[in-house]
Amino acid sequence: MDPLALALLPGIGPKRLLELLAEKDPLLALKERFPQALPHLEGALARAKAERLRAEALGVRILGLWEEAFPEGLKTLPQPPTHVYLKGALEAPAVALVGTRRASPWALGFARRLARALAEAGAYVVSGLARGIDREAHLGALEVDGRTLGVLGSALDRIYPPEHRPLAEKMDLLSEFPFGTGAKAEFFPRRNRLIAGLAQAVIVVEAPLDSGALITAKYALELGKEVLAVPGRPTDENSLGANRLIQDGAYPVLVPEDALSYLGLKGRPKDPGLSPEERALYEALLKGEALPEALAEALGLPLGEVLGLLVRLELKGLARPFPGGRYGAG
């Protein structure tokens, strides 16, 4: 019989599933050991057939815990999924970049820049396709033609949030939820454990103390994975979670190169075509957001010249405007 049907039966978790599939006759073993599941068998067989047909139509692979192709990082989870739905292909080394949905402008810019650096260095950027930091992580990787994976808290045919559907079409996707399953609050911690299982390291960019990103970091630590965090202002509630991780031993990431060095990844050299003035301005932007007037004063340049340099750096993807007239590294 189809192993997926067994996986879809109520009360048959990963341990029982593997035990049944290890038997010479899984159906007979099911009847003998779990007779309470038999009334649901016909429905499970129909659902399994429908899931496979839907997956074929969408170009999705259903990978079972019983298969060699099942992601190795998910097999080691205390409670692995019985099967996952994958659109695209998984790659390594995978680095998760996570944070709050309600991110500060500086954190959004930093997340995108960090994702670009990771992707340029050959990392597979993993995140949750949520608003805020997750979105910037995926966009940053795609901007440099990198690969990125979105792990969903909904089915692959129910992209959440819906405004991220165009983004989802450009990247790899993974979910443990059957087709037609919409997003629910209780699904996101389950999603977070998959992110931790798939990645060799988790980087938290900005997260308050109640952020789901800290759940991902907790799972990563329990699995023996590396956890890194980007520090923020001590008075900023949005950074309290990331700061606490650093206090508890997470490696601090002050610039993208910190993460690359710690994880043994080699980034691309900076654009050699920058003029000395562009280089000086770019280095100033790396220190944080600033008004053009402040940048002009710090560099000892006329404001008009700095504004012109900012335009040139924007065109090169090295500068980015933020609310309030401030600029930061792109």
Q: What's the token pair of residue 315?
A: 């065109």
Band of residue 288 on the pLDDT scale cut at 50, 70, 90: confident
Residue 194, CA distances (Å) to 40, 139, 151, 228, 246 in order: 28, 21, 7, 18, 23
Band of residue 32 on the pLDDT scale cut at 50, 70, 90: confident
Band of residue 153 on the pLDDT scale cut at 50, 70, 90: very high
For 203-238, what is each residue's pLDDT tens digit?
999 999 999 999 999 999 999 999 999 999 999 999
Choice between 279 and 119, residue whose per-residue pLDDT is larger: 119
For 169-182, what is each residue's pLDDT tens digit?
999 999 999 999 99
Residue 296 has pLDDT above 60, yes or no: yes
Window from 14-18, 95-99, 121-125 with minimum mean pLDDT: 14-18
Residue 317 has pLDDT above 80, yes or no: no
Band of residue 271 on the pLDDT scale cut at 50, 70, 90: low
At residue 123, the pLDDT reads: 95
Amino acid present at 317 = G
At residue 319, the pLDDT reads: 84
Q: What is the CA radius of gyration of the chain?
A: 23
At residue 267, the pLDDT reads: 64
Residue 269 has pLDDT above 80, yes or no: no
CB 241 within 8 Å of CB 207 = yes
Residue 2 has pLDDT above 80, yes or no: yes
Strand partners of residue 172 = 149
At residue 117, the pLDDT reads: 94
Closest CA to 201 of 99, 97, 117, 121: 97
Residue 272 has pLDDT above 60, yes or no: no
Choice between 94 and 24, residue whose per-residue pLDDT is larger: 94
Q: What's the token pair of residue 15?
A: 């341990």
Whole-model pTM: value is 0.80
Phi, psi of 281 (to 5 degrees): -70, -40
Q: Alpha-carbon torsion 231, 235, 238, 242, what sign?
A: positive
